[in-house]
Copies of this chain bind each other. A is one copy, B any other.
Amino acid sequence: MNRFGELIRTKREEKEMLLRHLSAELDIDTALLSKIERGEKTAKREYITLLAKIFELDYNQLFSLWLADQIYKLIENEDLALEALKIAKKELKQSVIK
């Protein structure tokens, strides 16, 4: 799962930008951007802000995808992933109350 990278790639291609163009705007290596789009590396938080602006995306939505990718990476190979998600969600809701 790599919803974040896939969205960036889609948007970039829509705008007919090359990796080279976008990576220049982010001030990172083209190879690194390629890896971010394919989910091989994780984008820094500061890039999220920039990317939201460049592609006129809602920051919160983009950030949610990014965060979901992090969660997914943590649990993807675990049998008990769903159970753990359930517990974490429960605890999260508890903590909101407090």
Q: Which residues of A contact B (CB under 8 A)?
A: 1, 3, 60, 63-65, 67-68, 70-72, 74-76, 78-89, 91-93, 95
User: Which of B3, B70, B81, B95 is in CB contact (< 8 Å) with A67?
Assistant: B81
**In the complex, what residues of B have CB within 8 A of residue A74's CB?**
67, 70-71, 74
**In this complex, which of A63, A65, A84 has the most chain B Cβ atoms within 10 angstroms of its Cβ?**
A84
**CB-based nearest B residue for A65:** B87
Instruction: Judge whether B95 and A89 touch: CB under 8 Å.
Output: no
Residues in B with CB closer than 8 Å to A72 are: 88, 91-92
Cα distance A76–B71 when bound, in Å? 12
**A67 and B84: CB pair below 8 A?**
yes
Give the complex CA separation of A79 and B80 in angstroms. 25
Could you list 14 A-B pairs, sorted by A, with CB under 8 Å?
A: A1-B88, A1-B91, A1-B92, A63-B80, A67-B78, A67-B84, A68-B88, A70-B84, A71-B75, A71-B84, A75-B88, A75-B92, A81-B92, A85-B89
